[in-house]
Structure 1
Amino acid sequence: MKRLFLYRIFFFLLFFIFPFFSIAQQTKVDSLLLFLKTAPDDTVKVNTLNALCREYRNISSFGPALYYAQQAKALAEKIQILGEKAKGWPKGIANSLANMGIISFNHGNFKVAADFHFQALKIREKIGDKIGIGNSCNSIALSYSNLGDIEKALEYHFKSLKIMEEIGNKNGIGNSYNNIGLLYYDEGNYDQALKYLYKALKIGEELNERLYMSGRYNNIGIVYEQQGRLSNKTMANDKFQKALAYHLKSLNIQEELGDTQGKGGSYNNIALIYFDLGKIALNKDVSKKYYKNSLENYLKALLIAKEINDQDLMCNTSINIANVYLESNKLEEAHDYLNQTLKLAKEIGKKSRVQEAYFSLSELFERKHDYKQALEYHKLYTNLKDTLLNETSSKQIAEMNTKYDTERKDKELIQKDAEIIKQQAESEKQQTQRNAFIIGFGLVLVLAFFIFRGYRQKKEANAMLETKNEAISKQNKEIEKKNTVITDSIEYAKNIQSSILPTEEELKKHFQNYFILYKPKDIVSGDFYWINEQENNLLFAVADCTGHGVPGAFMSLMGHNLLREIVSRKNNFNPSEILDELNLKVLKTLKQDSKNTSAKYGMDIALISMDKKRNRIEFAGAHNPLYIIRNKECIQLKAEARSIGSFPREDKKGFMNQSFQLQKGDMLYLFSDGYTDQKGGPDGKKLFSKPFRELLQDLCELNVSEQHWQLDTNIINWQGNKKQTDDILVVGIRM
């Protein structure tokens, strides 16, 4: 089923002063451009340029929007305000920077967006612009939220809330409540999410802001629905009914306001809740009723999608309708809509929807007992799934590799050109000075005229040298610029790498008490952790790839995708077999030769398979062991003394499994060698494994948050003023 819509509020206020007409009448682009033609270079023109930026931004025309924001900033920096010594209008500069931040946010450049908003915040704090400060804090919080730093996002949302409460700005207070509630939703803290969303709703009702009320009703409905999905049937029914009530309230406002696109989203959300209610209904008649209501709302959403010509929404809604028919066992109707979905998805190039249609068609023919057709569509589904997985993996690796290689070569070429220019300039300087000396000496013996000519030649030579020096300076600036681009590219690679790691919500779903100490040596890391669940089996791995920084990140991305491919393709939860196949795939991918059996490129890994019903684990490892601490005694499940990506010796078979029965209170530790290999202490030596085990035995009875803090503090104190040796990753799980 298609995902729901969440409404986050990105509020940003600009103030305009026009001498001849009101702002409500001059918000159109044509009117602003007309005014701009005759506007003098003053604060009104800065506001007009910023208004143009906002109008273009509202229609997603970000090129012109950025141009007018830059023009506004440039003009604001040149204006001379009466009574001020220095040039520049700080408020106009801050508003322009904030506009640039919003444009970067809309482009998905969240780090750049945060930088622009921090610049705007600094200016607004200096001039005491309280509303501007509150807006900047909100914008910074939204950037941190999209970067995955929930703690920082909450910090700045609460700062914004405090400012808005101080100045009594109810709109700002309501928006802060809404955004804080959604952050708690993202964390899975649904009670806190509802607390703040209800506060936001109350503000909206006091102000009678109908559009905002619609969004807040929608958000509350989504939280209740998510609670329903995580509850037992009795509790789920209550939560789904509440969710339905709030989505209907949202729909009523959208109908009142004539919000066609909003109505399409609400019909979709309402249909999905009816579908959920149908799945938990206690008898078939009630279930049929709910499926009928679900179908009616999906059909309304489909009509709107066709009306606004939103082909993506048409495709999503069609497959949802097919799945309702399938669940209702109306196989012919389901077949029709699945064929429609398949045709449209192929036309618009939505491979993921094609994949979903194949899967549903396979299930449909299985219900018809046409197992041949069911098998054909399941093969098509599996092949397309593998294709999408390989395309994603290849695209990610190629993107990172191309950026890294191209920018490294550019940097080297610029440095080389700068060195050549510098050498030429020095050589020409020496030659010119020597010629000037010879000519000068000769002219002393001849006439004053020749002395003057020699002086003029020397002056020309100095001018040439100055030109060369300017060229060198320009090349140095280009080198600095390239360095910045390379750093930004590696930051982008970090975002790609972060996206493959399990989310905190996913980890909390499986482990109630755990910690992860993750300290990359560089911006990106060669260490990663991975999780996969199916039915009662759970796989969890900690891996340490060859190298660190960008090369290590390439390896970690490849390792993650290969693990996912192996498990999803064979549905295999045997750790030793997974590592055997991973070893072969790494050798094949990296084209490593069996003549050299020591792995030049590969990874060390600890992999556990957990049977939740029997509370039992199986373990296999390549170099990395598993520590289980029970009653302060350390039980070590040793790993094979070879890496993934190495050829086994003739006398060695594949990786071996080790089984272990867990008890309540056991602490499991999986880790890379970064912690034990860190150099430090009074003698500058490695920490080594034995002191690390003893440290874990001392800490094992503390709560997991305290363990994380103690391990981090210990390694910082041990490292002292020395550089970090390698990427560090330690995962602790209490059973």
Structure 2
Amino acid sequence: MKKIAWLILFLFTAKIISAQCDNEFKLVDAEKSDTLRYKKYRRLQDCYYKTDDFEGAAKVFKKQKALASTLIKKYSDSVYYRSYLADQTTFYFYKGDVQKCLDISNELLNYDLRKADSSDIAGSFGNIAILYRKLGNYPKAIYYLQESIKINEAIGRKELAGNYSNLANVYSDLGQNEKSGELFRKALKLRLEQKDEKGLALSYANMANYFSNINKDDSAIVYYSKAIYMNEKLGVPDSRKALTYNNFTGEYIKKNQLDSAEKYLKITEKLLNEKSNPFMLSHFYENKGDILKRKRKFQEAINEYNKSVKYADLNNDISRLVTLYYSKSLCFYGLKNIDSTFNNRLKAEVFKDSLFNTTKSSQITRYEMQYQFDKEQEVIKSEQLKKELETKNALERKQLLIYAAMIALVLLLGLVVLVLKNNRQKKKDNLVLQQKNDLIESQKKDIIDSINYAKNLQQAILPPITKIKQELGDSFIYYKPKDIIAGDFYWLYKTKETVLFAVADCTGHGVPGALVSVVCSNALDTAVKEYNLTDPGKILDKTREIVLETFSKTSQNVKDGMDISLCSIQRNNNSITIKWAGANNSLWYIHNNEIKELTANKQPIGLSEHSKPFTTQTLDLINGDTLYFSTDGYYDQFGGDKVGASGKKFMRKRLSQLFFEMKDLSTEGQLALIDKTFSNWKGRLEQIDDVCIAGIKL
């Protein structure tokens, strides 16, 4: 049983499917722009083709035809001319008028040859070959496919696999199965290399057709199953699915497994309707007739064959008509109607003679021999086309320059008038704009002066670095506000026996963060000075109490506060006792050539749902050990090498590694390395938060 070539429908199938074609039609008519309306008509036609609604497509084509004439006249030999020719070939192909489609395809080929676009020329050759195959003119089908293959081989186009498949289908029609199989395998290999899933679905179906033709039915069923799987995966239109199931049904008919054949025939029927492509409808009714014939229901089979003949006639599908009239003659023979048996057998022979005549075999041989000669002549043709194209382009450029000069002169005159007319108004506008800019600059200066004054106030709560080194010894502070003033701060207090030190991160940055930092710094002072607390956990408890009391004076539910790492350092000869507590911020320390981390309580100094007392942890360290404090601004900074526009975070793990790597440097060297690492990581990206890191070498 003859299989319909998959690539025919694939090349002429549109790319957009819409279930709302009629509603879109009304919206398209309302579009005022001619060019946009034309593009929407093209998409709408695709919609109707995909739903097999040819009447809808014809309605759109009528309007598109009138609009195309307007655009072609307006833009001369433009892209709209080629688009309209291509749209006509699609329309007449779906209409079933293969000869009309061929005439317009030849006109399109001539246009492509004038434009010398290799890709378009190859496509036109390939489409014309498909049409000649449908008309049963196999010599010309082979010739045009060879022309398409030559171009696609030269420019390395993906469509080369489609050329191989189409040429294989021609040889399959001619009964040259060995050559057909070789080309089908070549196409399948190429599509596997290209990972072309849509093409693979077609190649699987073609391989199934090939195995069916050489009566390897089990292999055919395997490849049809692969094609069905790919169709479902890709979500192809119902028309494509119906094509597969049509062929699948035929395979089970050949194996005389009529239950399976009827099962897939019913699936096919659900995917088709009276507006479906005539090729598929003809194939469907032929399958239905074949099942009834094998069940010896001859009259019912004849009725289905007659339906198939109607659609085959509509498309001038000669090869299918040969098969159908042979099948009808067998049914009439089964009904013992000798006259009808003879008449249908005679019709089959007549169509068979028209399909295969004595001259075609010699023509095929001649075209194959001429293929090599044409290849040698291609260079000469290419040079001639190139010279013609250069001459034409030169004339077009000259004409374009003349038009451009005229248009430029008109525009220049108009521009002079417009400039003179608007010059006076621009002077007035510029005066008003300058006054506004002066006001903005004055306000900006006042704001910056205020912030700089606030910076001086904030500096008052930060202990001088000389004081820190005096009390803590060998140490450093890396302090880098995001803006002029910051929400991060560091804090120091000396008691008789211990030194208290902290690094804190208050909510926000800039002015809001600085205001919160003043509140939190004062709260720490109060907890130590007025309540005489030295235990870090109890200091944090009391600080939280003071901060909450301060913010409770407002009627709003303020959630501002701070994260902090606080320790007390008590020196006893060679041993050093560290007591530490933290709110969200950890403490890193290096002891015995290892870096370790004390984890803070997961709660802030401020309002939280489940507040608990802060935990004081104790360490016994020795001289030479090092403590590190850090807010989250350093390890949350975005940046890095070979990342996208937004970068990636520095991360806590990388900061811990940095602390360990720099442990043997002097504190001045550590400070320089921290600054260099941060700058290199940030690169051109913006600093996202305040940064504060402190290091103390005991």
What TM-score does the superposition give when structure 1 sets the normalisation length? 0.39
Structure with bigger gyration radius: 2
Greater length-normalized contact order (CA 8 Å, ≥ 6 residues apart): 2
What TM-score does the superposition give when structure 2 sets the normalisation length? 0.41
